[in-house]
Amino acid sequence: MTQTATDGTSDGSAGTLEERRHGEVDRPSSALAKFQNDPLPLDAGIALPTWQIAYQTYGTLNDTRSNAVLLCHALTGDQHAANRHPVTGRPGWWDNLVGPGRPVDTDVFFVICANVLGGCSGTTGPASIDPTTGHPYGLTMPVVTVADMVRAQHRLIERLGIERLFAVVGGSMGGMQVLEWGATYGKKVFAALPIATGTRHSSQNIAFHEVGRQAVMADPDWRGGRYLDEGTKPKKGLSVARMAAHITYVSEAALHRKFGRALQDREVVTYGFDADFQIESYLRHQGSTFVDRFDANSYLYLTRAMDYFDLAAEHDGLVANAFRGSETRWCVVSFTSDWLFPTTESRRIVHALNAAGADVSFVEIETDKGHDAFLLEEPEFHRAVRGFLTGAARAHGIAPPAPAPAPAP
């Protein structure tokens, strides 16, 4: 089911899917902000002297520069939220939510989505070439944190000449970035929408990430992280990591509804280790396609950043301290069947915001689709996003979209 297409894409580039993906690491088909000898200080105590951030924009920045919305992507996302992906040609990962007339309305807002620091789609990460050696960083790239990602995004926003964002929106690891934006650059965020996220990674979540990292590092083709230099790729390990993680993105109910114990293209079990069950075939497919589109070291770095995220620890043990004096309008969203970031985690955010006296609303969406619901066509969720952003836009003095012309009689 995986394509090994060698046809060129719209930009005329050629090569295998994997080669074209890898081409995006240093020379992405995206807008690029380069920071040369313009150090980015990192939580690890080091600074990246030269670095870059790749991003996409949608819509038009208004004259007062007051309509910018920053989207923050999740662990395995990228900057291609609402455009065709330059390599796969597929719609963006938030195409159903972002666009003209959609809940994040690009007729009204100027939408920015940047690849995170540590990623592998054009922003500096472990697969990028270290300018001091001419070789990929690999594990010599400093470990980054969610706060580092946000610090890099803030530099991008400054460079774009945007003094204050209208809104920051993101789910899962993207939601962690939203919280970090509100905590660190609160005065520069009018509205914030953290979705399916938490103020810290739980013990169980760290455990799942650790299984994934060990799977990658157990693969002899990982080569201590130097696989790009050595011409190998830890495909099997990364595939196992993705399979384990994928289970956590969906609910037991959704798996039962979608697959149950249905067999894959057969009437009876084979008494062997082929993918007898559809769920096995599905998971294997998730693993093998992921390997084509993601860098293994990036996976280590970004899971680590999530594990390290702990807003309370950053603020004297109290999440509420992160939000004292917050003038941001908050809307926190959770999904009933999300067991990676259950509603209890969202309530913890809401309680902290309330304790800090912030303006916060909370929406729990009833769905059986699990954590990944924030990426799916989920009408109640889309209504909540639209409602929150419309209300905030009005309060912020951003012109609503022109009403659709009446149909011809």
Which residues have a catalytic role annotated? Answer: 172, 338, 371
Q: By CB under 8 A, is residue 142 in contact with its own copies?
A: yes
The two three-digit tokens of residue 365, written as one number: 């969406």
Closest residue by Cα to residue 388 from 86, 97, 90: 97
Q: Residue 262, class by beta-carbon neighbours within 10 Å (0-12 exposed, 13-18 middle, 19+ buried)?
A: exposed
Q: By CB under 8 A, is residue 237 in contact with its own copies?
A: yes
Is residue 8 a contact partner of residue 89, using CB atoms and an 8 Å limit? no
Closest residue by Cα to residue 22 from 120, 114, 91: 120
Interacting positions 25-44 with its own copies (CB under 8 A)? 43-44
Residue type, 74: A
Rounded (5°) CA angle 143-149-150: 145
Smallest gap, in angstroms, from Cβ of residue 209 to its own copies? 9
Among 24, 105, 180, 307, binds its own copies (CB under 8 A): 307
What strands, in cross-sheet order, belong to the sheet with 110-114? 31-35, 51-58, 110-114, 68-72, 165-171, 189-195, 329-335, 359-365
Among 61, 255, 318, 376, binds its own copies (CB under 8 A): 255
Closest residue by Cα to residue 176 from 203, 207, 202, 213: 202
Q: By CB under 8 A, is residue 243 in contact with its own copies?
A: yes
Q: By CB under 8 A, is residue 260 in contact with its own copies?
A: yes
Site mask, its own copies, residues 345-364, x = CB under 8 A? --------------------
Is residue 75 a contact partner of residue 146, using CB atoms and an 8 Å limit? no
Q: By CB under 8 A, is residue 207 in contact with its own copies?
A: yes
122: left (phi over 0), alpha (psi -120 to 50) or beta: left
Among 50, 91, 277, 368, binds its own copies (CB under 8 A): 277
Among 65, 284, 347, 386, binds its own copies (CB under 8 A): 284
Residue whose token pair is 């790009």: 228
Run of H or E including 142: none
Site mask, its own copies, residues 154-193, x = CB under 8 A? ----------------------------------------
Instruction: Report the residue number, 284 or 382, with the smaller CB distance to its own copies.
Output: 284
Report the greatest alpha carbon distance in the chain. 69
Among 81, 111, 300, 373, binds its own copies (CB under 8 A): 300
DSSP string, 263-322: BSS-SS--SSSS--BHHHHHHHHHHHHHHHH--HHHHHHHHHHHHH-BHHHHTTT-GGGG
Interacting positions 42-61 with its own copies (CB under 8 A)? 43-45
Among 80, 85, 293, 304, binds its own copies (CB under 8 A): 304
Among 76, 239, 298, 343, binds its own copies (CB under 8 A): 239
Instruction: Report the residue number, 139 or 399, with the smaller CB distance to its own copies.
Output: 139
Q: By CB under 8 A, is residue 279 in contact with its own copies?
A: yes
Q: By CB under 8 A, is residue 213 in contact with its own copies?
A: yes
List Cβ neighbours of 76 (8 Å cut-off, separation of 6 or more).
290, 293, 294, 299, 302
Q: By CB under 8 A, is residue 315 in contact with its own copies?
A: no
Is residue 348 a contact partner of residue 319, using CB atoms and an 8 Å limit? yes
Stretch near its own copies under the rule CB under 8 A, chosen from 8-16, 49-57, 203-211, 372-380: 203-211
**Number of residues binding to its own copies, judged by CB under 8 A:** 55
Residues that bind its own copies (CB under 8 A): 43-45, 139, 142-143, 200-204, 206-208, 210-211, 213-215, 217-220, 236-237, 239-240, 243-244, 247, 252, 255-256, 258-261, 269, 271-273, 275-277, 279-280, 283-284, 287, 300, 304, 307-308, 310, 313
